[in-house]
Amino acid sequence: MPLALYALTAGAFGIGVTEFVIMGLLLEVSRELNVTIAAAGLLISGYALGVTIGAPVLTALTARWPRKHVLVGLMVIFVIGNAACALAPTYGWLMAARVLTALTHGTFFGVGAVVATGLVAEDKRASAISIMFTGLTVATVLGVPFGTWLGQHYGWRATFWAVTLVGLVVLVVLAALVPQDRTQPVASDWRADLRAIARRPVLLGLLTTVLGYAGVFAVFTYIAPMLTQISGFDDSAVSPILLIFGGGLVMGNLLGGKLADRNLIRAILGTLTVLAIVLGLMTFTFNNQIAAILFTGLLGAAGFATVAPLQMWVLSKAGAGQSLASSFNIGAFNLGNAIGAWAGGLVIDHGPGLTFVPLVAALFPLLAIATALFAVRASKRAALTPSCNPIH
C-alpha cells in the first residue's frame, strides 16, 4: 500500500481523537474554564453540529476542486482549529474553535475515501478504504485514552497541542505524497441528489441514525464523571477503562457489519434493541465498579454495532444520491451526538441527575426502533401500492 494512504489514515486518526478526546477531559476543562460539566459537554454538541453542517455543505462546494487541494486545505483548517483550542482563553473561544475544526470532518472522510481508492489497484480498493478508516478506530481505541492520560497529567491543552502536531505531520505528508488528480473531478447534480435524499425512506433512515446515536452519546459524553462520581474510580482510572470501551467498539463494529450482510432490517432492529437494554441497565450497574467496567465495554459494542446497518440502510434508499447521502448520514450521526450530549446535560442540571442519564438515554434507541418499524411498514405499503409520488 502506498505511503499516501497511511497519511490519510493518520488524518483520520487525528480527526477521531479531536472529536472524542474531550469526553475524557470534561472534568479538567470544566475546572479550568469555570463552567459546569453540562456546559463542558456542549463542546461535544458544538463539534457535532459543525460536522452536521460542514459535511454536506463543504462536500458540495468543493466538488469540482482537485481532491489533493481539498485534503490539504482541510488539514490547514484542522491545524488552525486545534491550535486555537489549545490557546483558548475562554469557554466561548474553545467552543468556536471546536466548531471550526469540525467543519473538516465529514468532507475529509468523503474525499479521502475517493482518493484512497485511486491510490491502489481496483482489486485493493476495499482494503484501501478499510485502512484509511482504521485511523478512526485506532483513535477511539488508543488515541482517546492516551489523549485523556496526557490531558490529566499535563493539562487538557497539551492534548490539543499533540493533535495539532499530528495535523502538521499529516499536512506535510499529504502535500508531498498524494498525487495530483489525473482528470478534473466531475461533480454530480447536487439538486438531483437532494431530491433523492428528500424521499421519505431516506429521511426516515437519517432520523433513525440521529435517534440511535443520541442514546450512545447521552451517556458516552459524561462517561468520565459517571465513572468517578458514581462508580468511585480515581481520575487516573478513566483512561484504562476507555480502552475497554474501545475494545467493545471494535467488536461491535465488526459484528454489526456481519449482521447487516445477513439481514439488514433485523440487524437494525436487533442492534438498537440491545443498545436500549444496555443503556437501561447501566443506571443500576454503575454503583458496582466491576459492573461499570463491563457495561462501559458493552456500551461500545452495542453502540457501534448500529453503525454499519444504519449506514447501509441510508445508502440502500438513496439511489443515485449516495455520495451526498453518505455525507448527510455522517452529519446525522453527529447530530445525534449533539442531541445526546445536550439531553444528558439537561438530565444532570435540571433532571434527576447524573445517575439517571443512561435510563433517559435508553429512550432514544426505543424511538429509533419505532421510526425504523414505521419506515419498514411504509416501504411494504409502497411496494404493494405503487405510486408516482416521488416522496414515496
pLDDT digits (tens, 9 = 90+) for 184-235: 556 566 677 677 778 888 899 899 999 998 999 899 989 989 999 999 999 8
- CATH number given to 1-187: 1.20.1250.20
Average the pLDDT over 287-292 and give the result.
95
pLDDT at position 276, please? 97
Res 390: pLDDT:
46
82 CA to centre of own chain:
18
Q: Is the pLDDT of residue 124 over 90?
A: no
Question: What's the Rg (C-alpha) of the chain?
Answer: 20
Distance, CA of 337 to CA of 331 (rounded, Å): 10
pLDDT for 323: 61
pLDDT tens-digit series, residues 321-342: 666 676 777 788 888 988 998 9
Specify the pLDDT at position 246: 84
Task: Produce one character per residue of 325-347: b if its CB has 16 or more CB atoms within 10 Å, e if not.
Answer: bbbbbbbbbbbbbbbbbbbbbeb
Tell me 183's DSSP state.
S
Q: How confident is the model at residue 66 (pLDDT cuts 50, 70, 90)?
A: confident
Q: Is the pLDDT of residue 146 over 50?
A: yes
**Residues 6+ positions from 188 with CB-CB distance below 8 Å:** 63, 320, 321, 323, 324
pLDDT per residue over 204-218, tens digit each?
989 999 999 899 989
Q: Any alpha helices (H) in the chain, and if so which ranges? A: 3-20, 26-33, 37-61, 67-87, 91-102, 105-118, 125-138, 144-154, 156-177, 190-197, 200-220, 223-225, 238-262, 264-285, 289-305, 307-318, 322-350, 357-361, 363-384
Grid cell, residue 65, equals: 476542486
Say yes or no to pLDDT of 391 above 50. no
Report how far residue 318's alpha carbon sits from residue 337's, in angstroms, rounded to the nearest whole number.
23
Q: Note the maximum CA span of the chain.
A: 63
CATH node for 189-382: 1.20.1250.20
Span 164-168, average pLDDT? 92
pLDDT digits (tens, 9 = 90+) for 2-46: 788 888 888 888 888 888 888 888 889 999 999 998 899 889 889
In the predicted model, is pLDDT for residue 348 greater than 60? yes
| The three grid cell numbers given for residue 116, joined into one nine-digit string | 484512497
Place of cell 483513535: 139
The more confidently predicted of residues 365 and 235 is 365
Can you give the pLDDT at residue 185?
Answer: 56
C-alpha span between 360 and 218 (Å, rounded): 9
Q: In the chain, where does the domain assigned CATH 1.20.1250.20 lie?
A: 1-187, 189-382
pLDDT at 157: 96
* pTM over cut 0.85: no
pLDDT score of 184: 59
Give the angle subtended at the CA of 207 by the CAs of 114 and 336, to the nearest 5°: 75
The C-alpha atoms of residue 192 and residue 172 are separated, in whole angstroms, by 37
- Angstrom distance (rounded) from CA 233 to CA 238: 8
- Calculate the average pLDDT of the chain: 85
Give the dihedral of Cα atoms 256, 261, 264, 268; nearest 10 deg.
0
Euclidean distance between CA atoms 300 and 246, whole angstroms? 7
Is the Cβ–Cβ distance between 45 and 167 less than 8 Å?
A: no
